């Protein structure tokens, strides 16, 4: 017995457990589409760099070597090592810093969307379910925030609160909630009157239970798409803020701050200082974008117009 689905593919065994069959379908579509494979591959690399960076890095990313500063890629370093991608203005190994930078960028990215997503989802659920003045208030707050060019808001808060990883995550996270809130609100509104929710209400479920156990699971799908695009945009924002000198402290390497440090030596032709971190950012962001795109097509082509 087989079942035809909305996007034209065929579900072989509809009685098979939903999740595993979804996974299999995902893998099949991904391989056919090719690009997502590359994205997953690169993100895996980035994840490995982030988690195992300390072992993989040939040098301590903060160890200075004043005499070997601004060395070309593939120059011999101290203790027999090699500066694979060259060294920076203080003689620190670019490759090692790149690996450590992956950790910061990815951590900040995921943490920020967790913060933003959590706030946004809760806000959207409350807003959509209860409506009324709460809805107005939340949406107005969202409008106010969106009226600011985000980067100016971020700069203002970082200048005031001081820079640092936690503040960065906070600022970036708070900057994202509105997107989640709006989608969740719309979905909640439409689901609110559906039969299964009515049924739950009739059965005497508490409001909390209705919101979080009945409605929430049904609106998660589009959120994964949003999240994927969001991580991409958060990583770009983090890079920009680090570039402006407002990100993490100077002894913590991030791709954005590496780019900032490269500015002064550009004219002296030290291209590797600017190219490698930039490429790293670009590939990471690209991978998340590809992933998001693919997720969107995969889950439900109709989502396209809402995301």
In the complex, what is the shortest distance from the CB of residue 89 to another protein, in angstroms, rounded to a whole number? 6
Q: Give the residue ranges of DSSP H helices in the chain.
A: 18-33, 35-56, 94-130, 132-147, 150-161, 165-174, 177-192, 195-202, 207-209, 216-243, 255-262, 272-299
Distance of CA 81 to the CA centre of its chain: 34
Torsion of CA 86, 92, 94, 98, to 10 degrees: 170
In the complex, what is the shortest distance from the CB of residue 52 to another protein, in angstroms, rounded to a whole number? 24
In the complex, what is the shortest distance from the CB of residue 299 to another protein, in angstroms, rounded to a whole number? 16
Torsion of CA 157, 153, 274, 89, to 10 degrees: -20
In the set 85, 102, 125, 239, which binds another protein (CB under 8 A)? 239
Q: Is the dihedral of CA 236, 238, 241, 244 positive or negative?
A: negative
Whether residue 212 contacts residue 125, with contact meaning beta carbons closer than 8 Å, is answered with: yes
Looking at residue 213, the DSSP 8-state letter turns out to be I
Q: Judged by CB, which is closer to another protein: 95, or 288?
A: 288
In the complex, what is the shortest distance from the CB of residue 22 to another protein, in angstroms, rounded to a whole number? 24
Q: Does 45 bind another protein (CB under 8 A)?
A: no
Whether residue 151 contacts residue 208, with contact meaning beta carbons closer than 8 Å, is answered with: no
In the set 271, 299, 303, 307, which binds another protein (CB under 8 A)? 271
Q: Does 138 bind another protein (CB under 8 A)?
A: no
User: Which two three-digit tokens encode residue 180?
Assistant: 């989640």
The pair phi, psi for residue 238, each rounded to 5°, is -60, -40
**Binding window for another protein (CB under 8 A); candidates: 51-59, 196-204, 209-217, 234-242:** 234-242
- Total residues contacting another protein (rule CB under 8 A)? 65
- Contact set for another protein, span 52-111 (CB under 8 A): 64, 66-67, 69-70, 89-90
Q: Does 137 bind another protein (CB under 8 A)?
A: no
Q: Judged by CB, which is closer to another protein: 4, or 305?
A: 305
Task: Return residues touching another protein (CB under 8 A).
Answer: 35, 64, 66-67, 69-70, 89-90, 140-141, 143-144, 147-153, 155-157, 159-162, 182-183, 185-186, 232, 236, 239-240, 243-245, 249-251, 256, 259, 262-271, 274-275, 278, 281-283, 285-286, 289-290, 293, 304-305
């Amino acid at each position: 017995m087989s079942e035809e689905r909305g996007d034209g593919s065929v579900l072989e065994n509809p009685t098979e457990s939903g999740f595993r069959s979804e996974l299999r379908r995902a893998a099949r579509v991904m391989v056919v589409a090719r690009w997502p494979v590359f994205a997953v591959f690169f993100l895996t690399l980035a994840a490995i760099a982030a988690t195992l960076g300390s072992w993989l890095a040939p040098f301590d990313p903060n160890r200075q070597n004043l005499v070997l500063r601004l060395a070309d890629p593939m120059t011999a370093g101290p203790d027999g090592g090699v500066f694979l991608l060259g060294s920076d203005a203080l003689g620190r190994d670019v490759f090692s810093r790149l690996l450590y930078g992956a950790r910061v960028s990815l951590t900040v990215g995921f943490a920020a969307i967790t913060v933003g997503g959590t706030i946004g989802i809760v806000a959207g659920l409350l807003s959509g379910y209860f409506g009324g003045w709460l809805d107005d208030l939340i949406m107005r707050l969202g409008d106010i925030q969106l009226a600011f060019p985000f980067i100016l808001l971020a700069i203002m808060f970082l200048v005031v609160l001081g820079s640092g990883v936690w503040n960065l995550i906070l600022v970036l996270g708070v900057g994202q909630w509105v997107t989640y809130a709006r989608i969740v609100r719309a979905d909640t509104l439409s689901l609110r009157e559906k039969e299964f929710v009515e049924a739950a209400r009739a059965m005497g479920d508490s409001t909390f239970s209705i919101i979080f156990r009945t409605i929430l699971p049904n609106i998660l799908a589009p959120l994964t798409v949003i999240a994927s695009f969001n991580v991409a945009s958060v990583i770009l924002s983090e890079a920009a803020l680090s570039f402006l000198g407002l990100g993490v402290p100077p002894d913590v390497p991030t791709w954005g701050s590496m780019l900032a440090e490269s500015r002064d030596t550009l004219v002296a032709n030290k291209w590797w200082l600017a190219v490698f971190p930039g490429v790293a950012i670009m590939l990471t962001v690209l991978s998340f974008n590809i992933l998001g795109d693919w997720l969107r097509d995969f889950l439900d082509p109709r989502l396209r117009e809402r995301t």
